[in-house]
């Protein structure tokens, strides 16, 4: 017998999606107020959503929030920004030149399997300030996805397009900027998006271990001070910051590559 799935109007689907989220929050409220204990996991110390909202309101009213967020944003900006510049340059060199690939790829391949978080103890020893070591962790987390995706994009450039550009009078530099860069752009942007995710992940971990200020530090501090509602507020803010920065990236990618969506762009 055929199963017929009837198409629902879009409005109703959104209502169902909203109800699903509300149901989750309601379950959370019930579980935490009744101190639900499932044996392997307990909600005894989990603050209910109402308390979390109160904590969030309190944090948003205090000047602490801006201090935490700006120091986190600055670290991501510095570490991730350096990873973008260095990663794209390394990726171009490795993808375009056999000599650069032989010279640069082996050490990178050796370092790549080491998770960025494993660098934390050494980086504290290597850098004069914990600020710099956290930026370094953010940098190293973003570097590899950016390098590898840039190499992939640059090395797989359509050689017919390169041949055509040569036939039309393009020299080495013009081929790089007019053909290789735009052809590799989608792959580079993928690397940038993955790198953005890992760099937030690394930053939060680094802040928890060695930070003063920063949203990861705030979350960990809430745990040590037993302000359990603040833990969840911190988690939510980390999620929002990650979501916002990846939205920025995809939007920038769409604006910079209008040909990828030619029905809209004209």
Partner 1 sequence: MNIRVADVDAKSVGRIDIADVSISLGEGSDAFEAVSGLDFAIAPGELVCILGPSGCGKSTLLGALAGHLPITAGRLEIDGQKVQGPSPDRGMVFQQHTLFPWKRVRDNVAFGPKMRGLARRERDRAADTILKLVGLSGFEAFYPAQLSGGMQQRVEIARVLINQPRVLLMDEPFSALDAQTRAMMQEVLLDILGKIPTTTVFVTHDIDEALFLADRIVVMSARPGRVIEDVVLPFARPRSHDLVTEPEFVRLKRHVMQLLRRPEGSEPLARLSPLGV
Return residues touching partner 1 (CB under 8 A).
158-161, 163-171, 174, 178-179, 182-183, 185, 257-259, 262-263, 265-266
- Complex with partner 1: residue 113 or 262, whichever CB lies closer: 262
Q: Is the Cβ of residue 7 or residue 259 nearer to partner 1 in the bound state?
A: 259
Determine the Cα–Cα distance for residues 198 and 200; give it in Å rounded to an integer. Answer: 5
Q: Which is nearer to partner 1, 9 or 169 (CB)?
A: 169
**Beta carbons of 120 and 60 less than 8 angstroms apart:** no
- Cβ 36 to partner 1 shortest distance, Å: 55
Q: Least separation, in Å, of the C-beta of 175 and partner 1? A: 10
Structure tokens at 82: 């350096």
Half-sphere exposure of 201 toward its Cβ, with a 13 Å CA cutoff? 14
Minimal distance, residue 253 CB to partner 1, in Å: 13
Q: Which tokens go with 39?
A: 């044996």
Number of helices followed by number of strands (H, E) in the chain: 11, 0
Q: How far is the CB of 100 from partner 1 (least distance, A)?
A: 23
> Closest CB to partner 1 among 113 and 169?
169
Name the residue nearer to partner 1 (CB basis): 132 or 165.
165
**Tokens at residue 66, please?**
């801006």
CB of 254 to partner 1, least distance (A): 13
From residue 171, alpha-carbon distances to 116, 165, 180 in Å are 39, 8, 12
Q: How far apart are the first and last CA of the chain?
A: 47
């Amino acid at each position: 017998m055929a199963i017929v799935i009837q198409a629902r109007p879009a409005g109703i689907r959104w209502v169902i999606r909203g109800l699903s989220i509300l149901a989750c929050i309601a379950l959370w409220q019930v579980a935490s107020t009744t101190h639900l204990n499932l044996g392997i996991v307990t909600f005894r110390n989990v603050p209910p959503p109402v308390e979390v909202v109160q904590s969030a309101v309190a944090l948003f009213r205090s000047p602490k929030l801006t201090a935490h967020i700006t120091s986190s944003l600055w670290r991501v900006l510095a570490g991730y920004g350096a990873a973008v510049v260095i990663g794209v340059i390394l990726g171009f060199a490795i993808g375009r030149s056999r000599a650069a690939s032989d010279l640069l790829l082996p050490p990178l391949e050796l370092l790549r399997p080491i998770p960025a978080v494993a660098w934390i103890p050494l980086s504290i020893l290597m850098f004069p300030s914990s600020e710099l070591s956290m930026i370094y962790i953010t940098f190293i987390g973003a570097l590899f996805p950016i390098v590898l995706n840039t190499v992939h994009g640059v090395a797989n450039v359509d050689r017919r397009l390169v041949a055509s550009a040569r036939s039309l009078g393009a020299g080495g530099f013009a081929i790089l900027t007019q053909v290789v860069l735009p052809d590799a752009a989608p792959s580079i942007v993928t690397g940038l998006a993955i790198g953005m995710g890992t760099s937030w992940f690394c930053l939060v971990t680094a802040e928890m271990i060695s930070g003063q200020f920063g949203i990861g530090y705030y979350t960990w501090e809430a745990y040590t001070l037993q302000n359990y509602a603040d833990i969840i507020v911190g988690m939510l803010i980390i999620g929002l910051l990650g979501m916002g920065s990846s939205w920025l990236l995809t939007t920038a990618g769409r604006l910079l590559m209008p040909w990828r969506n030619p029905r809209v762009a004209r």
